[in-house]
Amino acid sequence: KAGVTQTPRYLIKTRGQQVTLSCSPISGHRSVSWYQQTPGQGLQFLFEYFSETQRNKGNFPGRFSGRQFSNSRSEMNVSTLELGDSALYLCASSWTGVGETQYFGPGTRLLVL
Amino acid sequence: KNEVEQSPQNLTAQEGEFITINCSYSVGISALHWLQQHPGGGIVSLFMLSSGKKKHGRLIATINIQEKHSSLHITASHPRDSAVYICAVRIAKLISSGGSNYKLTFGKGTLLTVNP
């Protein structure tokens, strides 16, 4: 069974631009969670989607948004990029949510110049 | 104060040593995850536990819910164990419909280096 895939793997943007990241979960998994990892703050929870609905949200500004499609694939969008948005963005999937083992993708490394 | 504290931040060991990484948390949780992250970023879930002890190969994880503390032990450490180990707690959030959802809150991680 294929693992969680994320595209693109690397991305360079400039301040003010917007970016869309994609996550394809393991087949059959309906929950997709997104996380931001930075050297200063470590891993932080962004949001979780389940069956196309945002079920939970972390403490991030409204510039960070996401959606999930009927095939469980998820996208994350960051608008008006800031330098501080440079980070590794990870998604994880599971059958029902963070109450069970999470399977992480390889991440998308975003650099904002 | 962070809800999840890990110690030590950095740990260097010689191959074959017994290793312990600690995780303390300050909130009520329903479960705790131990994750492993190798250079390059990929994260693997090692354990999820809500009580007692779990063992997988040379890895052992324990949790004491009353003391709000968990430990990850590695027996007979090997250079391939070198990675960042991250503790994450599952916190329930009550929602207006009467149910609850969960989110993960992470420790800052412990960088383990095992020298041959």
pLDDT value of residue A1: 67
How far from chain centre, in Å, is Cα B19? 13
Mean per-residue pLDDT over chain B, rounded: 90
- Chain A: residue nearest B43 by CA? A104
Strands (E), chain A: 5-7, 10-13, 19-24, 31-38, 42-50, 53-57, 64-68, 74-78, 87-94, 103-104, 108-112
pLDDT value of residue B95: 61
Q: What percent of chain B has pLDDT over 90?
A: 73
Q: Are strands B83-94 and B31-37 parallel, antiparallel or unpaired?
A: antiparallel
Read off the pLDDT of residues B72-82 as tens digits, 9 standing for 90 and up.
999 999 999 99
Q: pLDDT grade, residue B13 (50/70/90)?
A: very high
Q: pLDDT grade, residue B98 (50/70/90)?
A: low
Average pLDDT, integer, range B17-36: 93
pLDDT value of residue B94: 64
Beta bridge partners of B33: B48, B88
Read off the pLDDT of residues A4-45 as tens digits, 9 standing for 90 and up.
999 999 999 999 999 999 999 999 999 999 999 999 899 999
How far is the C-alpha of B1 from the C-alpha of B101, rounded, in Å? 24
How far is the C-alpha of B26 from the C-alpha of A5, rounded, in Å? 34
Mutate to test the interface with B, among A23, A94, A98, A104 (most CBs of B within 10 A): A98
| Model confidence at B116: pLDDT above 80 | yes
| Model confidence at B114: pLDDT above 90 | yes
| Model confidence at B99: pLDDT above 60 | no
Residue B59 structure tokens: 């890895």
Q: Is B79 helix (H, G, I), strand (E, B) or coil?
A: helix
**Cβ neighbours of residue B64 closer than 8 Å, sequence gap 6 or more:** B70
- Chain B: residue nearest A104 by CA? B43
pLDDT value of residue A9: 96
| Model confidence at B101: pLDDT above 70 | no
Read off the pLDDT of residues B28-67 as tens digits, 9 standing for 90 and up.
888 899 999 998 778 999 999 989 999 999 999 999 999 9
For the ranges A86-95, A104-113, B102-111, which has the lowest average pLDDT? B102-111
- Using a CB-CB cut-off of 8 Å, the residues of chain A touching B42 are 104, 106-107
| Model confidence at A97: pLDDT above 80 | no
Q: From the list B41, B102, B109, which residue is nearest A42 (CB)?
A: B109
Read off the pLDDT of residues A40-79 as tens digits, 9 standing for 90 and up.
899 999 999 999 999 888 889 999 999 999 999 999 999 9
